[in-house]
Structure formats: structure tokens, C-alpha cells
Amino acid sequence: MNTNYFYKKYVIAILLISSTIFTGCEKFLDTQPQGSYTLDNYPYPQGGGPFDEFIFGVYDDLRSYSVHVDGFINATSIRSDDADKGSTANDGGADVFGMDNFPVLTTSGRANALWTGFLGIVTKCNEAIYQVESNDDIVSDEEIKQQTIGEARFFRGYAYFMLVRLFGRVPLIDKMLDDPAQQLNIRQNSVAEIYKFIEDDLNFAAANLPLSWDERFIGRATQGAANGILAKVYLTQGKWAQASSAAQKVMTSGQYDLTTDYAKIFGEDGENSSESVFEVQATASPTVTQTNGTQYASIQGVRGAGNWNLGWGWNVPSDVLEAAYEPEDPRKARTILYSSTNTTENFTIYSELMPRYPSDVPNPRYNHKVLGSPNLRNTISRGCWWMNIRILRYADVVLMYAEAANELGQTEEARTALNSIRARARRGAAEGILPDVATNNQNTLRNAIRHERRIELAMEHDRFFDIVRWGIAKQMLDAAGKTNFRIGRDELLPIPQAQIDLSKGVLEQNPGY
């Protein structure tokens, strides 16, 4: 028998089969993601905002733990003279001791969260801009494109404004990078470069964002928000004329006023009122108690037991803040939530009897502005995850205008603006409480405006940045007993050690750490 022939037949057969199989293999190996989209097959909705999905990711970030929650509350408020950590003595450990009374640990998880959180927003903004500029599959008119870019640049500008005030020098990332592993390890830019970048972004945003959105998009970024943040950017740099001008744009936009009662601003029914220039939106329901909300209020909630277990009890009003109020200022009761004591009964704005200090709660005071309504606390959750975060209020803009105007020598305008805030604050109060400021002295007026800013915006996350930019941080913090503050170091958070490590030393630590 001819074995060779026999084998040959088989070899040919096998070769034939193999080649058929291998052609089939390519198809066999082309498995697609199951139950998830890729950039190439996402069914972008037609009409409405074609790029909304990309920019909406930023709104998700705004509510997140690493952006406007734990690190944010610590760095902007607990670091200031007006608030203390609160809670029980050792709660939170060394990380928070550093936030409360300096220096902040270079290993602070909270500082690191702020870094990744706000730079995460920058990444999303760059991606959204990239989509607008290069995604040909999405059909859209030019105006919508510019508006989306404006919205992205608003948040990018805002994120860098937070970053530059928190950390000083940070790396500027202005586009999506094609080789992230190679390119994303970037050196820090100078503070001046960062401010220039922020101004460009916010100016572009102000020029391209709408004055307002319809009810479906309430709370979305507007021209007013861009101008308001821009005013603060200028104010922080001492660019008084530009600050005044940006603030004025908000004040003359016709979108905002001071009609909302101070007592109403902070509750659920005060959300997105005519006082609101920009606030982070949050919601919750009995079935979805947290996912669409934010832990912001929970961290500051009354630290009691049972129905008074509203949260961690952090960020409590300090002794010096309590002492700073003018007699009978109605804003005090809306800001400071007093615990009952063995001798005194205290009540919430909802007339609930507060638990007693020190036996039932560890702190005599809590932040009253974040207290949710008892009705929702009983039906949804006591953590109040639905409470919006007020980032920029109209009163803030008016006081920025007053400050800028006063520095520009426009005493009259400054005083009028200041007194409009005081007038709202004393509305409904007894005669003689919070009288108008009458001074013509620029320096006296400056102090009055600073005082008003402190009281009006107490516990609202500007105090630390304010005392730093006014150059009075050491003096005020010493007075509050936070004597560890060291000039030249503690104005800024440390660049997180985790980030320096990751960058292999490309990022440089802030002075003094």
C-alpha cells in the first residue's frame, strides 16, 4: 500500500479544513462588549443637547465624595477660624487634626481626594470639548457647540480656581492627550499662569452660556454663574475693576435678587431660588436614598443617637464665630444649631427639641444650614443626602461687588450694596437690629464688608480663602486657638504625597511641608 499517498491525502484534507477554520476564527474572535456601549456605538439622542451626556458626567462629579464633600468641608471650613472639626475628640484621627489645627498631613487622604476629584472634572471637561470638536457623528449647530464648550470651560475654570486656592501650583491640562501614560505626568504651572487660564475659561463660558435654563435643567451652569465665579477669581487676585465689572454683570442680569428670606435660603424650599447663582443639585427618594444625592449634609449632621443620628457631626461653628455676631442678628439662629443642655432647651428651625450636650451629643453647636426637614428625614433617610450644596449665592456676588467697589474708592456704591445685604438680614426683626452701615471711611467700610461677608456667608466655605486673601489668616486663626498655623506654609494644602510619589517627583511639594 502506498502509505505516502495515504498520508498526503490526509495532509491536504487537514490543510483545507484548517484554512476554512482560520477564516471562521476571525469572526469567532470578534466578540463585542456585552450590555455596555463604546464611544463608537452609543446611540446619541437626537435633539435637545447632543453633547449633554458628556458634560453631565461633570455634574455627577460635583456631588461626589472627593469633590464637594469630605475634603471640601475640611479644607474650606474646618481649616478656618469659624469652624472646628466637631464630633468626638479622636474621631477622624490625625488626618482631620491636621485640617483643624495644622499642618495638614502630606499623606492626607482628604487632600488627595480633592486633587483627584477636581482634576477628574478637568479630564471630563477636556473630553467633552474633544467630543464637540471632533465627533463628526453628532450633528449639531454651531451655537450649541459653543454653548457646550462654554459649559465645559466653566467647570474647568471653576475646578482650577478651587485647585489653585487649595494647592497653589498645579499642572495645567487643557486638552485630551493621545498618549496618557506618557503625557499626563506634567509639571506644575505657576499660579499666574493658572489664573490666566481660569480667566480665559470663565470669560469664554460667560460669553457662551445661557442666562437661564428651562425648568427641566434647573441648576445648570449659566452666564451668571460664570460671571459670579469670575468676580471671585478677580477679587482673589485683587483685580478690583474686573471683579466689580463681573459682579455687576450678574447684578444687572435680571436673574437674581435678594427677595428670598435668609431663613428660607438653606432649606429644601430655598433650593434654586432667586438667591441661587450656582448650587450643586442633589435629590433622594425612599428607594434611592444616596445615589442621586450627596453626603455633604450627612458629614455635618447632628451626631446623636436614634433619630438624632444625622451624621458625623463635623464642621461645627466655633466660639469665635458665635462671638462675631452683632446683637440679635437673626442670621445667627439660622447658622448655629444649639444643642440643649441640662439647663436650657434649644430647638431647630423646625421646632424640634435638640438633644442635650454633653450627655446625648458630643458638641454644643452644629451647622444649622445643612439641617434637612424632619419630614424627609423620617421618610427618606436621616443623612439628608438630598440637600443641595450652595456654591455661589447672590449675596456673595453683591458683597464681592461691595468689596471691589470700596477698593476702587466707590464708597457710595459699596456701602449701598453692603446695606442691601443687611436690610435683607434684618427683615422682620425688631427695630434697631443690624442698622445700616453709614461710614464714608474706606478702611472702616472695608472692615464692615469683611465682617458682613463672614456673617452672611458663615459656614459656606469661603472663610478660609477670604482670610488668606485678606492676609489676616494667622491673626484670625490664632484668635480662634488654632495656633499651629504657620505663615508661608499653611495657606496651601500640601501637594498630596500620593501624587508626588506617583509622579516620581515631577510634582514639587509646597513650601514648608
Partner 1 sequence: MRKFFTLLWLTSILSMGYAQVRTVTGTVKDSQSLIALPGVTISVKSTGQGTQTDEAGRFSIQASSTDVLTFGFIGYTTQEVEINNRAIVDIFLESHDQALEEVVVVGYGTQRKIDLTGSITQVKGEEIENMPNTNPISSLQGKVAGLTISNSGSPGAAPTVRIRGVNSTNSSSPLYVVDGVLHDNIDFLSPGDIETIDVLRDPSSIAIYGLRGANGVIAVTLKKAARGRTAVNLSSSIGFNRVIDRIDVTDAEGFKKLHDADRANAGDSKFDYTNYTANTDWQELILRDGFLSNNTLGISNSGEKSSTHFSLGYNKQNGVVKNGDYERFTARLNQELKINDRLKIGGNISGMYWNMRPTVITFTNALWAAPIVPVQYDENTYYSMPSFQRAQVGNPIATLHRMDNKSLPTGYRFVGSLFAEWEIIENLKWKSTIYADLGFNNTRGYTPLPFYFMNLGESEGENTITYDENVRTAVSQKQEQFTRYQQDHTLTFEKAIEEDHRLTAMAGFTTVFTHNQEISGNRRDADLNIPDDPDFWYINISNPNANPGTFAGQGTKNAIVGAFGRVNYAFRDKYLLNATIRRDGSSKFAPKNRWGTFGSIGLGWVVSSEDFFQSIDVVDFLKLRASWGKIGNQNGIRDNIYQPGLSTSSSAIFGDNIYTAVGPAYIPDPNLRWEVVGGVDLGLESKFLNNKLNLEVTWYDRTTTDILTSLVIPNTDRSYFTNLGKITNRGVELTLGWNDRINEDFTYNVSANYSYNKNVVNSIGDNINFQIFGNNQANLTETGKSIGYFYGYRQIGIYQSLSQMENMATMSNSRPGDIAYEDVDGDGVITDKDRTYLGTPFPPHNFGININLGYKGFDFLIQGQGVAGNHIHVQRRRANFAPINYETNRLNAWTGPGTSNVEPILASNRGDNYLFSSYYLEPADFFRIRTLQLGYNFSTGLLNNRIRKARVYVSGQNIKTWSKVTGYSPEAPISSITAGGADNGIYPLPATYTFGVNLSF
343-382 binders of partner 1 (CB under 8 A): 356, 358-360, 362, 377-382
Q: Specify the residue, 161 or 401, whose C-beta has the smaller distance to partner 1.
A: 161
CB of 453 to partner 1, least distance (A): 29
**Residue 95 interacting with partner 1 (CB under 8 A):** yes
Identify the residue among 210, 219, 267, 374 touching partner 1 (CB under 8 A).
219
CB of 134 to partner 1, least distance (A): 13
Q: Specify the residue, 185 or 475, whose C-beta has the smaller distance to partner 1.
A: 185
Q: Specify the residue, 359 or 475, whose C-beta has the smaller distance to partner 1.
A: 359
Name the one residue in this structure whose C-alpha cell is 434637612: 372
The interface with partner 1 within residues 143-182 (CB under 8 A) comprises: 171, 173, 179-182
Q: What CA–CA distance (Å, rounded) separates 463 from 347?
A: 26
- Rounded-to-10 torsion of CA 442, 405, 264, 81: -60
Q: Whose CA is closest to 382, among 271, 265, 281, 284?
A: 284
Q: Whose CA is closest to 172, among 151, 186, 154, 192?
A: 186
The backbone region for 86, taken as left when phi is positive above 0, alpha when psi lies in -120 to 50, beta otherwise, is left
Query: Under 8 Å CB-to-CB from 113, ≥6 apart: which residues?
Result: 65, 66, 70, 71
Helix (H) or strand (E) holding 83: strand 83-86
Q: Specify the residue, 287 or 443, whose C-beta has the smaller distance to partner 1.
A: 287
Q: Specify the residue, 207 or 218, whose C-beta has the smaller distance to partner 1.
A: 218
Q: Specify the residue, 48 or 254, whose C-beta has the smaller distance to partner 1.
A: 48
The interface with partner 1 within residues 428-487 (CB under 8 A) comprises: none
Helix axes 394-407, 411-426, angle to 10 degrees: 150
Q: Whose CA is closest to 396, among 221, 270, 235, 253?
A: 235
**Residue 136 interacting with partner 1 (CB under 8 A):** no
> What are the beta bridge partners of residue 389?
280
Q: Specify the residue, 155 or 401, whose C-beta has the smaller distance to partner 1.
A: 155
The interface with partner 1 within residues 377-406 (CB under 8 A) comprises: 377-382
CB of 220 to partner 1, least distance (A): 6
Q: How far is CA 230 from the centre of its chain?
A: 15
**Binding window for partner 1 (CB under 8 A); candidates: 35-43, 231-239, 240-248, 428-436:** 35-43
**Residue 210 interacting with partner 1 (CB under 8 A):** no
Q: Specify the residue, 344 or 359, whose C-beta has the smaller distance to partner 1.
A: 359
Identify the residue among 4, 26, 431, 432 touching partner 1 (CB under 8 A).
26
Size of the site for partner 1 (CB under 8 A): 109
Under DSSP, the state recorded for 45 is P
Identify the residue among 186, 191, 333, 472 touching partner 1 (CB under 8 A).
186
Q: What CA–CA distance (Å, rounded) separates 437 from 422?
A: 9
CB of 18 to partner 1, least distance (A): 7
Q: What CA–CA distance (Å, rounded) separates 464 from 487?
A: 14
Q: Specify the residue, 117 or 228, whose C-beta has the smaller distance to partner 1.
A: 117
Q: What CA–CA distance (Å, rounded) separates 30 from 319?
A: 66
The interface with partner 1 within residues 280-339 (CB under 8 A) comprises: 281-283, 286-288, 291-292, 303, 305-307, 309, 312
Q: Taking CB under 8 A as the rule, which mask of x and - marks residues 489-508 in contact with partner 1?
A: --------xxxxxxxx-x--
Dig out the grid coordinates for 460 from the structure.
459656606
Q: What CA–CA distance (Å, rounded) separates 30 from 53?
A: 28
Identify the residue among 2, 5, 35, 47 touching partner 1 (CB under 8 A).
35
The interface with partner 1 within residues 230-289 (CB under 8 A) comprises: 271-272, 281-283, 286-288
Query: Under 8 Å CB-to-CB from 32, ≥6 apart: which residues?
Result: none
How far apart, in Å, do the first and last CA atoms of the chain sit?
Answer: 89
The CA angle 448-449-450, to the nearest 5 degrees, is 90
**Residue 98 interacting with partner 1 (CB under 8 A):** yes
Q: What CA–CA distance (Å, rounded) separates 314 from 316?
A: 6
Identify the residue among 4, 10, 431, 443 touching partner 1 (CB under 8 A).
10
The interface with partner 1 within residues 51-90 (CB under 8 A) comprises: 52-54, 56-61, 63, 66, 88-90
Q: Specify the residue, 305 or 323, whose C-beta has the smaller distance to partner 1.
A: 305
Q: What CA–CA distance (Å, rounded) separates 71 from 405?
A: 33
Write down the H helix ranges in 135-222: 142-167, 180-183, 191-208
Q: Specify the residue, 243 or 282, whose C-beta has the smaller distance to partner 1.
A: 282
CB of 84 to partner 1, least distance (A): 13
